[in-house]
Amino acid sequence: MPVNDDLSAFHRQLRRTADHVISAGSDDKRRRYFTQLLAELDVYQEKLRVWEASPQVTEPVRRLVEMLHKYQHVLTSS
């Protein structure tokens, strides 16, 4: 969990959105929340750059985003 208040708040938002993806009751909702999660992760990456987070923080986030984009179709289909 990031120590900066702005990053911490956004991290909590990401977790809420990810929970929505997991608990979505339909494919449409899962796709919508997944798309929202990807958009939020893009914003989070920008916030990490602005706050000059270390590569130990930014690299895992970057790899996660790449993986989610790569497997988006598989992860949002039932």
Sequence spans of domains, the chain: 5-76
- What local confidence, expressed as pLDDT, does residue 72 receive? 87
- What local confidence, expressed as pLDDT, does residue 43 receive? 96
Instruction: Note the pLDDT tens digit of each residue in 37-65.
Output: 999 999 999 999 999 999 999 999 999 99
Distance of CA 74 to the CA centre of its chain: 17
> What's the predicted TM-score (pTM) here?
0.87
Residues across the chain: 78
- The answer to whether 33 touches 20, Cβ cutoff 8 Å, is yes
3 state DSSP class of 64: helix
pLDDT for residue 33 is more than 80: yes
- What local confidence, expressed as pLDDT, does residue 62 receive? 96
3 state DSSP class of 3: coil
Instruction: Note the pLDDT tens digit of each residue in 15-30.
Output: 999 999 999 999 999 9
Q: Distance between CA atoms of 24 and 34, rounded to whole angstroms?
A: 10
Residues 6+ apart with CB under 8 A from 27: 76, 77, 78
